[in-house]
Chains A and B, each alone.
Chain A
Amino acid sequence: MSDSAQKPRPQFKNISVPQILFAYRLPLAGKVSILHRASGALLFLALPVLIGLFAMSFTSEAGYNLISAATSYVIVKLILLAFIWGYLHHFCAGIRYLVLDLHIGMDKQSAQKSAGIVMGVSLGLTLVFALKLFGAW
């Protein structure tokens, strides 16, 4: 304990944000992973909005109707869609991690494949919600 306290170890921080964003190319499983964290953070930050919306829609019919009317604005639709994507990605990637926890699909090929499935399913379902929100049927 006392040794490490006396001699601070040198730290090398040679990775910059532009490098993280543009230079290093993550494998698909890595992209699913960081998006799992990003979507989790998004949902956490969205929590006040979502609980507020729920309270409004739940406590009175007038509030419910107000929110229904608000969803006719394109900007509201897009914000909702971002939350929907966040939820779907977090859900699908989470299921993948639960399966990996059971030591299923641990080899490189299966892991890349399941990461692709997560991206496909979450983006596909987001598209379905988008079509529904923008009144395709």
Chain B
Amino acid sequence: MALNEKIGTKRLVVGAHYGTFEYLAQRVTAIIMAVYTLILLIGILTMSGFTYQGWHNLFTFTVVMMPIGQILASLTMISLAWHAWIGVRDIWMDYVGNVGVRLFLMVMTLLWLVGSVVYFINILWRN
């Protein structure tokens, strides 16, 4: 690798593996959501009738005093937001050519997703 292809001493200007981290994050978060979907499905199928208490309990059940229901739902919501960020970012990168518009859309997407996570976790843990 020629020296003039580097910025500073560490960073390469050329080379593959840009996006590897996002690629992995998208897949890991997908698996987390898929597993949680199955957990919810089992919970719903073993519920004795679809009632408010049963629905509430799906997300607030405890295991040995630990709020496992809320922890699982929170982790999945964070995974969802991260997953959605990568996917929606890809859509903007593919279809929006104007750099300013793209930056604006990306910032809005991030703000919206982070806001959603905060809101969701807030209602989940306060009720």
Contact surface of A with B, Cβ cutoff 8 Å: 37, 40-41, 43-44, 47-48, 51, 54-55, 57-59, 61, 64-65, 91, 94-95, 98, 101
Contact = CB atoms under 8 A, between A and B. Distances in A.
B81 to A, nearest CB: 9
Contacts of A61: 52
Chain A contact residues, majority secondary structure: helix
A59 B119 CA distance: 13
B27 A101 contact: yes
A98 B33 CA distance: 13
Contacts, number: 48
Contact of B123 (A44, A47, A55): A55
A51 B55 contact: no
Nearest to B87: A40
Interface residues of B, number: 20
Given A44-B87, A58-B56, A64-B55, A98 B30 contact: yes
A98 B88 contact: no
A53 B124 CA distance: 13
Given A58-B124, A61-B52, A94-B34, A47 B87 contact: no
A54 to B, nearest CB: 7
Contact of A44 (B52, B59, B88, B127): B88
A54 B91 CA distance: 27
Interface in B19-71: 27, 30-31, 34, 37, 52, 55-56, 59
B30 A64 contact: no
Nearest to B30: A94
Interface of B: 27, 30-31, 34, 37, 52, 55-56, 59, 84, 87-88, 91, 112, 116, 119-120, 123-124, 127
A95 B56 CA distance: 29
A65 B50 CA distance: 11
A44 B27 contact: no
A91 B34 contact: yes
B116 A51 contact: yes
7 contacts: A41-B87, A47-B112, A48-B116, A57-B52, A58-B59, A94-B34, A98-B30
B41 to A, nearest CB: 11
